[in-house]
Amino acid sequence: MRKRELKNIQWSLLIIALILTAIGIVALFSATQESENGEFTKQLIWLGISLVALFIILFVDYELLVKISPVLYGICVILLIAVLFTKKVNGASSWFDIGGFSFQPSEFAKPVVILFLTFIINKIQTNYKEDISRISRVLLVLFVVLIPTILIIRQPDFGTATAFIIATGLMLIVSGIDKKYIIALSLLVTIVITLIAVPYTRQKLLPEHAQKRIDIYLNPESDPRGAGYNIIQSKLAIGAGQLTGMGLLKGNQTQLGFLYPKTTDFIFSVIGEEMGFLVAATIIILYVLFVTGALYVAKTAKDSAGTLIATGIAGIFLFHMVENIGMVMGLLPITGVPLAFISYGGSSLITNFICVAILMNISSKRQKTIFVGG
Q: How far apart are the first and last CA of the chain?
A: 18
Q: Specify the pLDDT at position 68.
A: 97
pLDDT band with cut points at 50, 70 and 90 for residue 114: very high
pLDDT band with cut points at 50, 70 and 90 for residue 227: confident
pLDDT band with cut points at 50, 70 and 90 for residue 370: very low
Which DSSP helix (H) or strand (E) runs through 54? helix 39-58
Q: Measure the CA–CA gap between 181 and 145, rounded to whole angstroms.
A: 16
Segment 167-188 mean pLDDT = 89
pLDDT in tens, 83-108: 998 888 777 788 887 766 678 899 99
Q: What is the DSSP letter of 88?
A: P
Q: Measure the CA–CA gap between 108 and 77, rounded to whole angstroms.
A: 11
Q: Measure the CA–CA gap between 237 and 94, rounded to whole angstroms.
A: 29
CB 348 within 8 A of CB 49: no
Taking Cα atoms as reference points, which of 303, 359, 282 lies closest to residue 13? Answer: 359
Residue 175 confidence (pLDDT) above 60: yes
Q: Specify the pLDDT at position 2.
A: 72
Residue 38 confidence (pLDDT) above 90: no
pLDDT in tens, 140-171: 999 999 999 999 998 888 888 999 999 999 99
Model confidence, pTM: 0.91
Q: Specify the pLDDT at position 179.
A: 87
Q: Measure the CA–CA gap between 62 and 353, rounded to whole angstroms.
A: 15
pLDDT in tens, 244-264: 999 999 999 999 889 888 999
Domain spans of the chain, in order of start? 3-364
